Amino acid sequence: MTEFNEADLQQKAKDHLWMHFSRQSVMEDGAGVPIIVKGDGHHIWDSKGNKYFDGLSGLFVVNAGHGRQRLAETAAKQAAELAFFPIWSYAHPNAIELADRLADYAPGDLNRVFFSTGGGEAVETAFKLAKYYWKLQGQPTKHKVISRSVAYHGTPQGALAITGIPAMKAMFEPLTPGGFRVPNTNFYRAPEHGDNLVEFGQWAANRIEEMILFEGPETVAAVFLEPVQNSGGCFTPPPGYFQRVREICTKYDVLLVADEVITGFGRIGDMFASTTYDIQPDMITCAKGMTSGYSPIGATIVSDRIYEPFKHGQTSFSHGYTFGGHPVSAAVALENLNIFEEERLTQNVKENSPHFRAALEKLLDIPIVGDVRGDGYFFGIELVKDKDTRETFNEEESERLLRGFLSKALFDAGLYCRADDRGDPVIQLAPPLTIGQAEFDEIEQTLRGVLTEASSLL
């Protein structure tokens, strides 16, 4: 492994690097920041030579694992042949082939692919396209969008309006108008429904109908939902939930967008979780796992119905990105998807997800572990102050628990994952899709040690 001058890197980072979603005080106060220099399989190494289990696939991204030489070689080969050309009135083979591949994976008649460079851009594309589509249909007042409480859909101005986390929005207000929120599917926080998950799912779906009627169907363009909601801690859809949502959207002529930026490309056990849960969306947004992070890319996959107005005449969608459908990224995506199929990674997730869940559910004997939820290789562990009453931590306690102890303690114990409190305090896990039982046990043992210590500190 290449040697690095730790002090020199830390000083340069302190002087010049502005990290994303991070407190710069970590560097400014002299503590420094972990510098990750290598990845191989499901492990990463820092500049000091310490080894960690990547329990989050970077950021829900490195689905095929780190250190895939053939992906690096694919990128280099393509860059030597055609490093860049835009798909603005032109095309190149990789963008064409990748669009064809994605359309094959997508459910129903989602046959048209609009490329971007990441998930937020894919959501932004879907938002703009939904509004323009309804204008072309002679319904220009349909501009509002509905999403769920605590849901994260990206940081561009339009995507941020769809995001359901007030604290992430307040500093940038006023935002793009038209974003409205409905309840999410956190069954753990819905005790009034007892143990009737189906009833709860219908109740949650019907809140979407209620919001459409309250705002007026003639004003609502689309509903944006993640198949498994990330922010808040892996909220899965109750049985029948998405079928009811589809009925509602069809009844009121509202588009249904499945935000699969995280759940796409095997995370839940199929190429798209829309297939897993029998969702029939009008659009899918995707990114992260498409290249396993080896090169940036995103896409919005669109139904024939939405594409129809653009097929003939002079109508065009005046929207795009310089690096959307980049030749190198598209080549890497195609090779990454070849790896998925050759190594049966989606099948690996389907077969092993119950064992992953079982390993994590062993942690329920720890006093602060209230709930384990999720699907595929995507799980959240909700932490509580009182397991019997499900009382959560207040803001000060959450700050002390997550940032003051857990984040650092987990990393020091050799596990990189996410300790988050955008909703209630949770630990999230989304490891590479290549792992199995031995790794599940390793994750459980590391979590057990740290969470047991955390319980004793409260």
The whole-angstrom distance between residue 29's C-alpha and the CA centroid of its chain comes to 31
Q: Verify that 108 and 222 share a domain, yes or no.
A: yes
pLDDT surpasses 90 at 392: yes
Q: Verify that 77 and 88 share a domain, yes or no.
A: yes
pLDDT surpasses 80 at 358: yes
Q: Verify that 214 and 275 share a domain, yes or no.
A: yes
**Res 389: pLDDT:** 94
Helix axes 437-457, 345-361, angle to 10 degrees: 30
Last residue of a domain, one of 282, 314, 343: 343
Domain count, the chain: 2
Q: Verify that 166 and 251 share a domain, yes or no.
A: yes
Percent pLDDT > 70 in the chain is 100
Indicate the residue type of 195.
Answer: D
Average pLDDT score over the chain: 95
Q: Verify that 90 and 213 share a domain, yes or no.
A: yes
Residue 356 lies in a domain: yes
CA atoms within 13 Å, Cβ hemisphere of 389: 5
| Range(s) of the domain holding residue 439 | 34-67+344-457
Last residue of a domain, one of 343, 364, 385: 343
Confidence of residue 106 (pLDDT cuts 50, 70, 90): very high
Instruction: Tell which residue, 165, 162, 160, has the closest CA to residue 150.
Output: 165
Residue 12 lies in a domain: no
At residue 23's C-alpha, the angle toward residues 418 and 456, to 5°, is 50
Residue 1 lies in a domain: no
Q: Verify that 92 and 217 share a domain, yes or no.
A: yes
Each residue's pLDDT tens digit, 7-51? 999 999 999 999 998 888 888 887 789 999 999 999 999 999 999
**Res 404: pLDDT:** 83
- The rounded distance, in Å, linking the Cα atoms of 418 and 384 is 16
Each residue's pLDDT tens digit, 42-89? 999 999 999 999 999 999 999 999 999 999 999 999 999 999 999 999
- DSSP readout, 130-190? HHHHHHHTT-TT--EEEEETT----SSHHHHHH---HHHHGGG-S--S-EEEE----GGG-
Residue 244 lies in a domain: yes
Bridge partners (DSSP) of residue 146 are 180, 223
Confidence of residue 1 (pLDDT cuts 50, 70, 90): low
**Res 421: pLDDT:** 83
Last residue of a domain, one of 324, 343, 362: 343
Location of structure tokens 């999720």? 374
Residue 50 lies in a domain: yes
**Res 319: pLDDT:** 96
Tokens of 395: 């803001």
Confidence of residue 332 (pLDDT cuts 50, 70, 90): very high
Q: Verify that 59 and 163 share a domain, yes or no.
A: no
Each residue's pLDDT tens digit, 244-284? 999 999 999 999 999 999 999 999 999 999 999 999 999 99
Q: Verify that 375 and 335 share a domain, yes or no.
A: no
**Res 349: pLDDT:** 98
In terms of DSSP bridges, do strands 36-40 and 43-46 run parallel, antiparallel, or are they unpaired?
A: antiparallel
Each residue's pLDDT tens digit, 92-102? 999 999 999 99
Q: Verify that 304 and 380 share a domain, yes or no.
A: no
Confidence of residue 321 (pLDDT cuts 50, 70, 90): very high
Q: Verify that 63 and 129 share a domain, yes or no.
A: no
Contacts with 394 (C-beta within 8 Å, 6 or more apart), sequence order: none
Q: Verify that 138 and 219 share a domain, yes or no.
A: yes
Confidence of residue 322 (pLDDT cuts 50, 70, 90): very high
Whole-number Cα distances in Å, 198 to 10, 15, 187, 311, 390: 52, 54, 10, 41, 21
Residue 336 lies in a domain: yes
In terms of DSSP bridges, do strands 283-286 and 255-259 run parallel, antiparallel, or are they unpaired?
A: parallel
Tokens of 245: 């949502």
- DSSP readout, 306-333? HHGGGSSTT-------TTTT-HHHHHHH
pLDDT surpasses 90 at 456: no
Residue 401 lies in a domain: yes
Residue 6 lies in a domain: no
- What's 208's domain CATH number? 3.40.640.10
- What's 439's domain CATH number? 3.90.1150.10
Q: Verify that 205 and 113 share a domain, yes or no.
A: yes
Give me the mean pLDDT over the 438-452 stretch. 98
